Amino acid sequence: MGKMWRMFVMALMLAAAVAPGRAAGAAEAANPLAVNVIVVFQQQIDEQAVESLRGRVIKRFDVLPAVAASVPVSAVELLRRWPGVDYVQQDTTVAIDSQAANWGVAETKATVMHTRGVTGKGVKIAILDTGVDLRHPDLSVAGGACLLSYCPNSYQDDNGHGTHVAGIIAAKDNNIGSVGVAPGASVYALKVLDRYGEGNVSTILAGIEWAIKHRMDIINLSLAAPEDAPVLKEAVEKAYKSGIFVVAAAGNNGHANGAGDTVEYPAKYDSVVAVAAVNQDHVRVPYSATGPAVEMAAPGEGIYSTVPVSLDPDGRGDGYTHMSGTSMAAPFVSGVLALYKQQYPERTNAQLRQMLRDRALDLGAPGKDPWYGYGLVQAMPNTPPDLEVKLLSANRGEVSFSVTPSGSEVKGYRVYRNGTLIEPLQTAAIYKDYVVKGTYRYAFSSVHRDGTESEPIGFMEVVVSDPYYKDLSVHSWYMPEIVYLSSQGIVSGYRDGTIRPYATITRAEAAVMLGRALHLDGTKRETVFRDVHSADFASGYIQSAYERGLISGYPDGTFRPQQPITRAETAIVLSRAYDLPDGAPVAFRDVTPNVTGHDAIAKLAAARIADGYPNGTFRPYQFVKRLEFFVFAARASNERFR
């Protein structure tokens, strides 16, 4: 190759102002490896769930089956899946380091995509750099390799640059530190630069080769050198032709006046997306390289991201700091490409590269220019909403909107509540949501026939005064169904203000709920069953349901009103009540022609009212919890919930 060509990492210019450390709180020390959470249980508090994951219970609550606890960051997801746990959320009232906003993530509109479930999941990104900190709680490294001649700690980062780049791309959305552009992407650490940030052509080539062999989707190169190397050009072209995106920093040797062609290599090659850096005002930073090869601009000044705790340069020792440079800009583009790739997996890298250009927010001179390229990278198109949305009412938990498309290319709309996607595609002229007491912020976006989505509009704040149940949260997956039934007068809570979703439901309670839904006569009266008396609260509905042929008793003349109802009995009652059509035989392992109600179970499954379990069973003789009956009843009476 002739002379050895050394490659240096882009300048790691730290922001001058570092946020001061938070004063130590009386409750907890600032521990980056632990987080304070509130754990809400389904029925009763289980402190052992927290303690078995090396957590500590700080406080028990009486109103809800919940505890405040300090748990290891690594245990949060395990705790969320723990049997008996309803949900886990961050305890925002405790003085801990919360997840900081990386201004660049918002500027690229990546945060909007996260609310829509687009996080880069399933996309593989190779980071050719100084390695990545394998122990950082805000990062998850899927794999990698050290391609230097001396690797005492494999691909562990001993410089800090690679970890900062990795955090910009894929820091977890876990309520600590920062969040990346594509927190669901799989990152692979390829250590091609040593502790001083230096490498040579051979290590870069080895990294590109590794990425090709292991079928990476994206290669991020936050590195540059002033000299051309034909063999490197050949390698990146081979990667691009194999379907891989190659993204590189344009370089930090630009002139303050933006004159001249200062883009460095490998960013200067046609097969590489060269990325320039801008500040929060969308203005080129003075040192960012310029020239015709610049393709995109991205945030690159004062970027907050991850670093190894042992190498944290700002004195806080929390594993996060600010850095600046085109090294920081390139991973924003890599992250956005990961979001594209998840959304459009069938499209080629050339097609998605064109999408990158089409969606860019034009900066500087109109069109492509040598300072900003096509403009600031954007995770979503700059498309007008083409919708007219009006709030119609908010009564008894039912929030109603009128939604009118104004463009012929609109095929539907999406609905967001408090920043979370709750309706992926809806076409109804009237949209209804069902929520418990609280204040909510709604937004709508239009979905066009080509699959693109507009900017959200609306952002209407809605105050809902009722219903309120002590044990029903907006975070509960079954909340809308219960509120819907409550708004229709079908269900009500107990005198103590609870709804008791995890208690079993009796045959009498099921009859009352069904009777209210079908507007049957609930007047208390004598019944045909010897164990249901005229004074019983459910007597009228039980007799009316019997007269309609919806329910029957036992051969001994009893109804057994206080006995829990089974899943098979529920299927029979609902299939009769709503006159469901015959369904194709459903392959539940435990539902045979010998099972009473097998035909009704098939009807409910075909109508998408009741589902089986992941192991292929239906469990026809299992008692039904109140929340299950609520969900089944809501689905049966309103197709919106199916």
Phi, psi at residue 132, to the nearest 5°?
-135, 140
Average pLDDT over residues 348-362: 93
Q: Please state the rounded mean pLDDT for residues 228-236.
A: 87
- Classify 486 as helix, strand or coil: helix
Q: Quick one: tokens of 146? A: 């050290």
| In a shared domain, residues 279 and 340 | yes
For the cut 50, the answer to whether the pLDDT of residue 9 exceeds it is no
> Which phi and psi (to 5°) does residue 185 adopt?
-70, 155
The DSSP letter of residue 178 is: -
Residues 441 and 331 in one domain: no
- Tell me: do 304 and 167 sit in the same domain: yes
SS3 561: coil
Q: Residue 545: exposed, middle, or buried by beta-carbon count in 10 A (0-12, 13-18, 19+)?
A: buried
Structural domain includes residue 18: no
Helices 507-517 and 626-637, interaxial angle, to 10°? 20
What mean pLDDT is predicted for residues 350-377? Answer: 94
Shared-domain flag, residues 269 and 194? yes
Look at residue 583 and tell me if it is in a domain: yes
Catalytic residue among 114, 161, 164, 448: 161
pLDDT for position 257: 93
Tell whether 595 is covered by a domain.
yes
Q: Please tell me the total count of domains within the chain.
A: 4
Between CA 306 and CA 308, with CA 307 as vertex, the angle to 5 degrees is 130
Closest by Cα among 357, 349, 389, 392 to 373 = 357
Under 8 Å CB-to-CB from 623, ≥6 apart: which residues?
A: 504, 564, 565, 566, 567
Kindly state the average pLDDT of the residues 92-101.
32
Residue showing tokens 């999406």: 414
Mean pLDDT to the nearest integer, 306-332:
89
Instruction: Give yes or no for a contact between 142 and 186, defined as CB atoms under 8 angstroms apart.
Output: yes
Domain shared by 297 and 393, yes or no: no
Q: Is the pLDDT of residue 328 over 60?
A: yes
Closest CA relative to residue 359, chosen from 329, 342, 373, 379: 379
Q: Are residues 70 and 130 in the same domain?
A: no
Q: What is the pLDDT of residue 27?
A: 25
Q: Is the pLDDT of residue 1 over 60?
A: no
Please report, rounded to a whole number, the percentage of residues in the chain having pLDDT higher than 90: 60
pLDDT at 90: 63
Q: What is the pLDDT of residues 503-521, one digit of tens each?
A: 999 999 999 999 999 999 9
Greater confidence (117 vs 27) lies with 117
In a domain, 348, yes or no: yes
Mean pLDDT of the chain: 87
Backbone torsions φ then ψ of 275, nearest 5 degrees: -120, 125
Q: Is the pLDDT of residue 32 over 50?
A: no
Per the domain annotation, does 66 fall within a domain? Answer: yes
Q: Would you say residue 4 has pLDDT above 70?
A: no
* Contact assessment for residue 204 and residue 128, using Cβ atoms and an 8 Å cutoff: yes
Catalytic choice (46, 91, 97, 129): 129
DSSP string, 495-529: TTS---TTSB-BHHHHHHHHHHHTT--------SS
**Distance of alpha carbon 419 from alpha carbon 488, whole angstroms:** 27
Both tokens of 195, joined, read: 């502790």
Is residue 382 in a domain?
no
177 vs 574 pLDDT, higher one: 574
Q: Which residues contact 367 (CB under 8 A, 6 or more apart)?
A: 374
Residue 128 contacts residue 10 (beta carbons within 8 Å): no
**Of the candidates 436, 464, 492, which is a domain's last residue?**
464
What is the pTM for the complete model shown?
0.57
Kindly list the distances between the CA atom of residue 423 and the CA atoms of 409, 415, 445, in Å, as whole numbers in the listed order: 19, 5, 10
Of 90, 122, 155, the residue that ends a domain is 90
Q: Do residues 433 and 401 both lie within one domain?
A: yes
Q: How high is the pLDDT of residue 255?
A: 94
CATH number at 394 reads 2.60.40.10
- d(CA 159, CA 178) in angstroms, rounded, equals 20
Would residue 282 show up in a list of annotated catalytic residues for this protein?
Answer: no
Residue 382: pLDDT above 80? no
pLDDT digits (tens, 9 = 90+) for 424-465: 888 999 999 999 999 999 999 888 877 777 777 777 899 999
**Is 52 noted as a catalytic residue in this protein?**
no
**370 within domain boundaries:** no
Q: Is the per-residue pLDDT at 59 higher than 90?
A: no
- Per cent of the chain over pLDDT 70 is 91
612-622 pLDDT, tens digit each: 888 889 999 99
Count the neighbouring beta carbons within 10 Å of the beta carbon of residue 196. Answer: 11
For the cut 60, the answer to whether the pLDDT of residue 98 exceeds it is no
One domain for residues 422 and 529: no
Q: From CA 73, how far away is CA 90, in angstroms rounded?
A: 11
Give residue 374's pLDDT.
96
Residue positions counted in the chain: 642
**What pLDDT band is residue 97 in, cutting at 50, 70 and 90?**
very low
One domain for residues 79 and 107: no
In the chain, what is the greatest distance between 2 CA atoms, to the nearest angstrom? 103
What integer pLDDT is reported at residue 203 of this predicted model? 86
pLDDT value at residue 16: 26
The per-residue pLDDT for 6 is 36
Last residue of a domain, one of 307, 342, 359: 359
Q: Residue 99: is its pLDDT beyond 80?
A: no
Q: Among 70, 305, 327, 334, which one carries the catalytic annotation?
A: 327
The residue range of the domain holding 45 is 34-90
Task: Answer yes or no: do 483 and 615 share one domain.
Answer: yes
Torsion angle of the four alpha carbons 108, 112, 118, 124, in this order, in degrees rounded to the nearest 10: 20
User: Phi/psi at 55 (nearest 5 deg)?
Assistant: -100, 175
Query: 129 catalytic, yes or no?
Result: yes
Average pLDDT of span 59-66: 73
Helix 626-637 crosses helix 567-577 at what angle (to 10 degrees)? 20
pLDDT, one tens digit per residue, over 249-277 is: 999 999 999 999 999 999 999 999 999 99
Rg of the chain, C-alpha, whole Å? 30
Q: Is residue 503 part of a domain?
A: yes
Q: Are residues 496 and 600 in the same domain?
A: yes
73 shares its domain with 113: no
The tokens for 586 are 């459903």
How far apart (Å, rounded) are the C-alpha atoms in residues 519 and 351? 57
| Domain of residue 61, CATH code | 3.30.70.80
Whether the pLDDT of residue 94 is over 90: the answer is: no
Angstrom distance (rounded) from CA 264 to CA 250: 6
Tell me the average pLDDT across 335-340. Answer: 97
The tokens of 362 are what? 């034009």
